[in-house]
Amino acid sequence: MGWVLDGDRFTVRKVRHQGGSLSYWVFTPDAEVHRPSLNVLKRYGTSSQQTYAYGLADHLNWARVNGKTPETVTLEDLQRYMNGVTDQADGVYGIAWRKPQQTPLGASAAGNVATVVKAYYLTLSTSQPVNPDLVEALAADGGGGRFGRSRRTVGSNPLAPRRSARRPRFLPDEVVEALFQPGVLTTARDVMIVTWLHDGGLFSGGPALCGGVVL
């Protein structure tokens, strides 16, 4: 499957202003500043702006190739897009837009993309038509900063990748056996505590001290 040619892509360019300040703006395939994205990016400092600009340009390329407009895109579309950038898509959906050398995003980078995509549509909705169901879904929570005259809130993000629950780190059997070797646990109290912890599922969430023995 092919991908978007360089001449047909939204791109990020470095813009140097008078006085030496630096910005990262998204430009259209016609080499014009993409004004809707600028309304979001101008809120951030140079470092964050660079990160968000590349994430937003990628999303705009996806939308352009797959014929998604602000009026028609749905929350499910955006969630499939996020699955695409993290390589968690179930089967093939839509037309490829990323270059072959682009690797899947990790949780942190994908979180940045989710942040700017959400901010983009909520900001856009204050000045032009955006799918109202999408706006409602993105603004359904009650936290965070506010965008535009609508006073919509931006808190938890339904587009953000879900982080897997941290699993407890259980002590290896040989470590548990070593604790019961003669001379390690010196009192009946220590033996009772370690036996109780082991029988209940002893795990190492950090060092703990039991009768002078570090667990």
Calpha distance 133→115 (Å, rounded):
18
User: Do β-strands 152-154 and 145-147 pair in parallel, antiparallel, or remain unpaired?
Assistant: antiparallel
Calpha distance 188→210 (Å, rounded):
12
CB 139 within 8 A of CB 157: no
pLDDT averaged over the chain?
A: 80
- According to DSSP, the residues that pair with 153 across neighbouring strands are 146
pLDDT computed for residue 200 by the predictor: 65
Between 140 and 60, the higher pLDDT residue:
60
The domain locations on the chain are 6-154, 173-214
Query: Which tokens sit at 47?
Result: 């470092």
Query: Which tokens sit at 13?
Result: 């360019």
Q: What is the torsion angle, in degrees rounded to the nearest 10, for the CA atoms of residue 2, residue 10, residue 24 and residue 42?
A: -130
Query: Which tokens sit at 84?
Result: 């695409």
pLDDT computed for residue 169 by the predictor: 57
Taking only the tens place, the pLDDT of each residue in 22-80 is 999 999 999 999 999 999 999 999 999 999 999 999 999 999 999 999 999 999 999 99
Taking only the tens place, the pLDDT of each residue in 110-122 is 999 999 999 999 9
pLDDT for residue 192 is more than 80: no
Average pLDDT value for residue range 192-212: 59
Q: What is the torsion angle, in degrees rounded to the nearest 10, for the CA atoms of residue 199, residue 200, residue 206 and residue 208?
A: -60
Write down the residue that tokens 């407009």 correspond to. 69
Total-model pTM: 0.68
- According to DSSP, the residues that pair with 210 across neighbouring strands are 213
